[in-house]
Amino acid sequence: MSPRKRYWLMKSEPTDFSIDDLKRVGTEPWTGVRNYQARNFMRDDMKIGDGVLFYHSNCDVPGIYGIAEVASSTYPDPTQFQKKSKYYDAKATQEQPRWFLVDVGFVRTLDTPIPLDTIRAHADVLGDDFALIRKGTRLSVLPVTAAQWKALLALS
């Protein structure tokens, strides 16, 4: 019996890396996550083939712009070791890395992006446990239930 597929929402600023960038390159390491809870989701819970809602943040119209999938097992984020990287971590070593990532693969862009305002307007359908619209949640990697995944994609 195969393990149950999981779903995630992963945020990226489109000026740094957008769904169109992912479409162009096909697969990309999800570098630079420096929050322990988001890291733990990637390190401990993500599996190859899991679904990813690609969310553009910190832009004029934040929202879900595409679908991707987890394309690799977890491995150490190489940027933590690169002194010139904005994600460098002096406490991380090759022997004891602190930060991990997965590769994310392009699936498709959404014909109609799902703006954050639309997502908030459907909070009753998504439930109180949907972390994206819960006050105080600012994680760049969030779990999404199968029901939330289906409800969100129905908004596109």
What's the confidence (pLDDT) of residue 25?
98
What's the confidence (pLDDT) of residue 2?
55
CATH homologous superfamily for the domain 7-154: ph1033 like domains (3.10.590.10)
What's the confidence (pLDDT) of residue 108?
98
Mean pLDDT, all residues of the chain: 95
Q: Which of 43, 152, 151 is nearest to 97 (CA)?
A: 43
Percent of the chain having pLDDT more than 70?
98
CA 45 centroid distance within chain: 13
Judged against a pLDDT cut of 90, whether residue 91 lies above it is answered with: yes
Judged against a pLDDT cut of 80, whether residue 137 lies above it is answered with: no
What value does the mean pLDDT take over residues 80-92? 96
Alpha carbons within 13 angstroms on the beta-carbon side of residue 55 total: 26
DSSP string covering the chain: -PPPP-EEEEEE-TTT--HHHHHHHSEEE------HHHHHIIIII--TT-EEEEEE-SSSS-EEEEEEEE-S--EE-GGGG-TTSTT--TT--SSS---EE-EEEEEEEEEEEEEHHHHHHTHHHH-TT-GGGSTT---SEEEE-HHHHHHHHHT-
Percent of the chain having pLDDT more than 90?
89
pLDDT in tens, 92-135: 999 999 999 999 999 999 999 999 999 999 999 998 789 899 88
Q: Which of 77, 85, 151 is nearest to 121 (CA)?
A: 151
